[in-house]
Amino acid sequence: MNMIDGIKERRSIRKYKSDKVEKEIIEKIIDSAIYAPSWKNSQTARYVVVTDKSVKDNIAENGTLGFSKNKNNINSAPVLVALITVDGISGYNPDGTPTTDKGEHWQSFDAGIACEAFCLSAYEYGLGTLIMGIYDEKKVADILGLKENEKVSALIALGYSDEEPKAPKRKEIDEIARFI
C-alpha cells in the first residue's frame, strides 16, 4: 500500500468481527512499530497484548472510568493492546534528571509515534485499530500487573473491522500551517 494512502485511509474502528487475530500477525505489527523513531533510540514503548477474554472483560468493566463507549469498543475487539511506556528514560539523562524543561513530554511523544506506526502497520495487514485515551490508568496497570516503572500510554483495540466509517472532517492546510 502507498504510504500516503495508508495514512489517509486508516480509520478508527469501533465495531469488530469476532475472528481471531493470529499471534504471528500481531508480532509482525509490533515488529514494524519497533522501527518508529524514539528519543536517542531509547525504544521505551512496550506492548501488552490481551487476548484472554476475562482480562479484557475486566478492563472493559472496571478500567474505562465509566465511559460506556470505550467499554463497548473493548468488548467488540478480539484483542486489546496496552501500549506501555517505560518511565523516566525518554527525555531524561542517565542520572534521571530531565534533559529539557519538558519533563515527561518526550516519553509520551515517543509513545504516540509508536502508536501511529502500530496502527498503520495493522491497517497494512488488513486489521482495524482504535486508540483509546479514556481509561483508568491505575486500574488497568493493576489488572495487567505492570511494573513500577511502566505507565499505560494508550489502549489500542485491534481486530478485523466490521464497519467502514467515513473519515471525520479534517481541517484545511491554511487553518493549521503557517509558512514564514
Ligand X SMILES: Cc1cc2nc3c(=O)[nH]c(=O)nc-3n(C[C@H](O)[C@H](O)[C@H](O)COP(=O)(O)O)c2cc1C
User: Where does this chain bind ligand X (CB under 6 A)?
Assistant: 11-12, 14, 69-70, 73, 130-134, 167-168
Which helix (H) or strand (E) element contains residue 154?
strand 150-159
Which of 38/70 has CB closer to ligand X?
70
Residue type for 99, please? T
First to last CA, the chain: 34
In total, the chain counts a number of residues equal to 180
Is 132 or 143 the residue whose CB approaches ligand X more closely?
Answer: 132
Query: Residue 76 Cβ, how far from ligand X at the closest point, in Å?
Result: 11
Q: How far is the CB of 179 from ligand X (least distance, A)?
A: 25
Contact 58, 76 (CB under 8 A): no
* Total Cβ atoms within 10 A of residue 155: 26
- Choose between 22 and 165: whose C-beta lies nearer to ligand X: 165
Nearest distance in Å: CB 122, ligand X: 12
**Residue 170 or 178 having the CB closest to ligand X:** 170
Helical pair 137-144 and 53-62, crossing angle rounded to 10 deg: 160
Q: Least distance (Å) from ligand X to the CB of residue 13?
A: 8
Which stretches within the chain are classed as H helix?
3-9, 23-33, 53-62, 68-76, 105-124, 137-144, 173-176
Residue nearest to ligand X (CB): 133
To the nearest whole angstrom, how small is the minimum distance from the Cβ of residue 127 to ligand X?
14
Nearest to ligand X of 14, 46 (CB atom): 14
